[in-house]
Amino acid sequence: MQTVSLTRREVIETAETLVIKIGTNVLSCADDTLDPTRIESLAEQIHRVKETGRKVVVVSSGAIGAGMGLLGLKERPKDLGHLQASAAVGQAHLIRRYDRCLQKHGYHAAQLLVTANDFKNRTRYLNVRNTIHTLFEYGAVPIVNENDTVSIQEIKFGDNDHLAAMVTSLVKKPLLVILSVVDGLYDGDPKSPESHRISQVQDWTPELLALATDDSSSLGTGGMKSKLQAVRSATAVGENVIIANGQQEGILDQILKAEDVGTLFLAQGASVSAWKRWIGYTIRPKGKFHLDAGATKAIRDGGKSLLAIGIQSIDGTFESGEAVTLVSPSGEEFARGLSNYNSSDLAKIVMRRSDQIATILGAVPYSEVIHRDNLAVLENHPAV
């Protein structure tokens, strides 16, 4: 009988939405085809989660793996064209399986295929969020996956762990559950009998990060290091995360009962507004501002806007309104924001007082380079 942690109980009881990321190997048989019994079991458990009044979003890998099985491929393709073809064949099979299993319990599976550009663009980001919330009104279960059939390197998330962290920011009072083929984070090599599962993580330390490797699963793309990066970005904005073994029978039921399974990562920072979460942890910066010590302190500790005089130099090419990263004199990225100036104009006014801008540019369109409302301090947790 698993023990019940008071902390876990509080985390579960306060969660209104479960975002469940399901890894490729969780859904695959030994021959790389989809495991229908696994999907059916997960659908039954999702039903029991929804019976508690909670909402559920599924971020599901498995399309490429499913396509490989259907196309008779023995190993994951190396080139983009064959990967996209496998995803195109597999995605239809994957969503059909989910829909059949969920319909037994009275729900429809709703397919959402996204790329990283859908999160970088504010309008698309809001459209994805609005679609998910409207699907909740109908009791449907959103099944989100990267649109592998059109994704190229420049618009890929990298893996569905990061996609799941981004999706988590779209819903209210979430708990992110990452289902993999490991029992959680271990204090050593998971294959060693001397290693032990870490039940709960409160603080991020260099020793903790050193426990993760880059190794990815045989069909998937994300190893434990990737998972920890995604977890860290989620906990930094006030979200709790559990990594657990999706092949363990009844795993979602056990999580719902607050049993000691997997590894619980507790939220590190205060809850961040959706707007600043989008700025700080979703869109990718186009430029970099190197600040002096005074500007760094004013933004990090004083809640101030960024003025041109505090910028020592800039890197990159960007337009007005695009995201940039702010770097302290020590080289640490500590904030992100939306620049009021493009890179060409800003290069002319760095280290200048506000009253000098009109003389240099002929006008003063903005007194601040980045307004405080468009700044997100990263709380010492680097964004991914």
pLDDT value at position 368?
Answer: 95
Q: Maximum distance among all alpha carbons in the chain?
A: 74
Backbone angles phi, psi at 151, to 5 degrees: -70, 135
DSSP 116: T
Fold of 274-377: 2.30.130
Annotated domain spans of the chain: 6-265, 274-377
Q: Is 221 annotated as a binding residue?
A: yes
Which residue stretches of the chain have pLDDT < 50?
Answer: 1, 153-156, 216-222, 381-384
pLDDT value at position 326?
Answer: 97
If one counts every other C-beta atom within 10 angstroms of the C-beta of residue 39, the result is 21
Give Cα separations from 318 to 122, 189, 212, 346 (angstroms). Answer: 16, 43, 34, 10
Q: Determine the Cα–Cα distance for residues 233 and 244; give it in Å rounded to an integer.
A: 18
pLDDT value at position 268?
Answer: 82
Beta strands in 23-140 (DSSP E): 55-60, 109-114
Classified as helix, coil or strand, 47 is helix
Q: Is 222 annotated as a binding residue?
A: yes
Q: Is 189 annotated as a binding residue?
A: no
The CATH number of the structural domain formed by 6-265 is 3.40.1160.10
> What are residue 56's DSSP bridge partners?
18
pLDDT value at position 375?
Answer: 93
Q: Is 225 annotated as a binding residue?
A: yes
pLDDT value at position 218?
Answer: 44
H-assigned helices in 249-373:
251-256, 274-281, 293-300, 343-349, 357-361
Backbone angles phi, psi at 150, to 5 degrees: -120, -10
Quote the Cα angle for 265-164-106, to 5°.
105
**139-174 CB burial, b ≥16 within 10 A, e <16:** ebbbbbbbbbbebeeeebbbbbbbbbbbbbbbbeeb
pLDDT value at position 220?
Answer: 44
Q: Is 127 annotated as a binding residue?
A: no
Contact 62, 94 (CB under 8 A): yes
Q: What is this structure's pTM?
A: 0.80
pLDDT value at position 75?
Answer: 80
